Amino acid sequence: VASASMRGGPTPRPETAEASHRRRRRPSRPSSGCVRIDKFVVRNQCNQTVEFRGFSRHVAAGQTVFFRGQRTVDLARISWRLQDGPRDYDFIALNGNWSGPGGELCGHPNYGTWYGFT
């Protein structure tokens, strides 16, 4: 079993002015109805390597990997498969494009398989 977590932050609150009357820099706010995902972490609990499409990453058995950077393919899904297993990918349909950590997710994700079961 491989597990993944996506950590996002709530919409930040306005900062208060500092004693010098300068305002601290605020993180950018997500668009309405969206969440900014700051971290994408995969912990592979399988006994085989799992490969992730779009990220071009392999996560070895027992390894935990923090995904970084943006991706340019498979933006509407997070797709994975066992390296030496069937060639088909299981996936989480994001129902919107997400380029990777630091990007916004605006859809409502759901799990699916290559065979179309959800």
| pTM tops 0.75, yes or no | no
DSSP class of 91: E
Of 60 and 24, which is predicted with more confidence? 60
- The 10s digit of each residue's pLDDT in 8-41 is 554 343 333 333 334 444 556 667 789 999 999 9
Query: Of the candidates 47, 48, 55, which has an alpha carbon nearest to the alpha carbon of residue 6?
Result: 55
Average pLDDT over residues 40-48: 96
CA 51 from centre of chain: 14
User: Is 67 within 8 Å of 55 (Cβ atoms)?
Assistant: yes
Of 97 and 14, which is predicted with more confidence? 97
User: Is 80 within 8 Å of 52 (Cβ atoms)?
Assistant: yes
